[in-house]
Structure 1
Amino acid sequence: MITRATLHRTVAAALEEDAPWGDITSQALLPEDARATADLIAREPGVFSGGDVFAAAFALTDPAIRVDLHLADGDRFESGDALASVSGPARGILTAERVALNFTQRMSGIATLTAAYADAVEGTGVRIADTRKTTPGLRDFERHAVLSGGGSNHRRTLSDAVMAKDNHLEVLRQGGQDLATALREALARLPHTTHVVVEVDRLDQLTAVLDGGADTVLLDNFSLEDLRTAVALMAGRATAEASGGVTLESVRAIAETGVQVISVGALTHSARALDLGLDVRIG
């Protein structure tokens, strides 16, 4: 969820970065009373995300600018479709243009990639989830885009859930601590509502993790055969989550092993910005 405070703070910072002393091109070239109408046009098909962010870029630049969104976040579109219209003072529209596009192109790119993964596992009941591999400062925006594309959100921050990964387990091992015991002791200290995830990369780690009381076991870089074996061994004692090297080509086969969640870092760290343009109407 993007709160109003986060939306305004982040977009305002982007506008400040792009025009710290104003848009000197528009101020020098365009009459102060010049007006314009422009359309947000898709240059390729995709899934829309970031409508409120797009509108905020213009509203924070000049409240006199009007933005009409033609799609809701999560709607699909084709190349050539008009996704939104902007009208008002021309200086303000051109000052906000790049920031508005940067956010919307990035978020729609994430939504489009997420939708491709969600479509690939349709009918399996498996959730496609993001990770914390997000752009610093833009996590809420990128997580929202994942939801727009039909995906699910993982934990938002380190404060939201326990997630013991390979480095945590290695520190325990070097200290001579038994994993199952360490997990049980941690659970005793935590609020009962705290979700506990433990990452494993070998089948022989499963027994200790399950005995320790993990809610979710993250099966990292497992082969399809080992995923099926792990799901059978877990027997519903914890949620089975697959991760590591997941691609559009492999995600369906992974889903069919019986896991409940597939986490994909590429949704946010490798999504390509969608090609969108803001075109001023002629005449």
Structure 2
Amino acid sequence: MYELSNYNEALRAQIRSWLAEDVGSGDITTATTIPAGSQSKAVIHAKESGVIAGLPIAKLVFEIVDPSITFEAKVAEGDHVEKGTVLIVAEGSTHSLLTGERLALNLLQRMSGIATKTSAFVAALEGLKVRLVDTRKTTPGHRMLEKYAVRVGGGANHRFGLYDAVMIKDNHIKGAGGIRQAVEAARANIPHTMKIEVETESLEQVEEALACGTDIIMLDNMAPPMMKEMVSLIKSRSPQTIVEASGNVNLQTIKGIAECGVDVISVGGLTYSFNALDISLDLNAIKGGTAL
């Protein structure tokens, strides 16, 4: 259901580096306390309700640690689960399960936290024709996974990085000498297939962005009455222009912002201000195939 182009060498290399950071020269606690050859079953369960994201990533962590580990997801990606729900059952070497435990849980908890928060924002927009998107305010090294988690939660992605869209913000406007100068310079140097977005904070800036034929106009930190007025102005002059709202968006304000008629609402807090979902792993030692 959710596209995850994560099964590639780039992601595998990241996971290996994260494991190296955690494991270093070896898991000394497990090595000195658990007999070699010990086998166990690990049960991963939710300790609070939320939306689950990251099951394929947790599986990949254990696969890289030890390909012989069996991994069975008991829920589907994007499921809303209740406290106590068993998410995963993994079985194999006790050493391997304990070595991969923390990284698998860290990623699963963080991604599920993002999906859970995104889902709450999506619910607040029910019945309204507006798209909820994230921003580039992500954890360095985790953008691919965090933006994926937003999609699992029902949101969509804004640009992935600095390279896939032109987004002219206040400092670009200052540096270029104005919106027109910035838009014209960008248009002269990008492919015809790439869109240009301009961040605006006033009527004058909206007027200038419209005059330049900007593809997307962002209304930044505008109060709803002014935002509604700007949407009406933009759509009356250029119906095809996409209007995005950003700034001071939370669960209490998002519905009012959406009702102003914007097409897109971007929320940085989806990926930089969330609570990781509480998820735990319990180990049941096995000897000769029988649980102890």
Distance 1:44 1:128 in 2: 25
**Whole-angstrom CA distance in 1 between matches of 2:184 and 2:63:** 52
Q: Which residue does 1:227 correspond to in 2?
A: 227
Q: What residue number does 1:206 align with?
A: 206
SS in 2 for 1:22: coil
Pick the aligned partner of 2:276 from 263, 273, 278.
Answer: 273
- Offset, 1:202: 1.2
Specify which of 74, 88, 92 is matched with residue 84 of structure 1.
88
Task: Check whether the contact 1:7–1:53 (CA below 8 A) recurs between aligned residues.
Answer: no
Report the counterpart of residue 40 of structure 2 in structure 1.
36
Read off the aligned partner of 1:210 and give its amino acid letter.
L
Structure 1 residue 237: Cα displacement:
4.0
CA distance in 1, matches of 2:50, 2:244: 27
Partner of 2:139: 135
Q: CA deviation at 1:72?
A: 2.4
Counterpart-to-counterpart distance in 1, 2:99 and 2:259? 49
Provide the rounded CA distance (Å) in 2 between the counterparts of 1:79 and 1:7: 30
- The letter for the 2-side match of 1:153 is N
Match of 2:173 in 1: 169
Instruction: Specify the alignment match of 1:49 in structure 2.
Output: 53
Deviates more, 1:25-34 or 1:257-266: 25-34
More moved, 156-165 vs 62-71: 62-71
Alignment of 1:69-218 (within 5 A): 69-173=73-177, 178-218=178-218
Task: Output the CA distance in 2 between the equivalents of 1:104 and 1:181.
Answer: 45
Residue 41 of structure 2 aligns to a residue whose secondary structure is strand
Residue 254 of structure 1 corresponds to which residue in structure 2?
Answer: 257
Q: Secondary structure at the match of 1:133?
A: coil
CA contact (8 A) 1:49 1:111 kept: yes
Aligned to 1:5: 9
Aligned counterparts of 2:182 and 2:174: Cα–Cα separation in 1? 12
Partner of 1:33, secondary structure, is: coil
CA contact (8 A) 2:45 2:86 kept: yes
Distance 1:71 1:197 in 2: 39
The structural deviation recorded for 1:161 is 0.4
| Alpha-carbon separation, structure 1, partners of 2:140 and 2:185 | 33
Offset from partner CA, 1:33-54 (integer Å, 9 cap, x none): 1111011110111111111110
Task: Give every structure 1 segment of 4 or more consecutive aligned residues whose post-TM-superposition deviation is greater than 2 Å.
Answer: 178-182
Structure 1 residue 238 and structure 2 residue 241: aligned? yes
State the 1:255 CA deviation. 0.7
Looking at structure 1, the residues matched to 76 and 194 of structure 2 have their Cα atoms a distance apart, in angstroms, of 34
How far off its partner does 1:185 sit? 4.2
Task: State the AA in 1 paired with 2:214.
Answer: A
> TM-score, with normalisation over the residues of structure 2?
0.92
Contact 1:2 1:141 in 2 (8 A): no
**C-alpha distance in 1 between matches for 2:182 and 2:173:** 10
Deviation, 1:181, is 4.7
**What's the C-alpha RMSD, in Å, of the aligned pairs?**
1.3
User: 1:97-144: per-residue Cα shift (whole Å, max 9, x none)?
Assistant: 001000000000000000000110011021110000000011001000
Matches within 5 A, 1:11-22: 11-22=15-26
**Amino acid corresponding to residue 229 of structure 1 in structure 2:** E
2:128 counterpart letter in structure 1: T
Q: 2:66 aligns with which of 56, 62, 72?
A: 62
User: Aligned to 1:242, what secondary structure does the other structure show?
Assistant: strand
Q: Deviations over 1:244-273 (max 9, x none)?
A: 110011111111110010000000010111
Identity level (%): 42
Secondary structure (helix, strand or coil) at the match of 1:53 reads helix
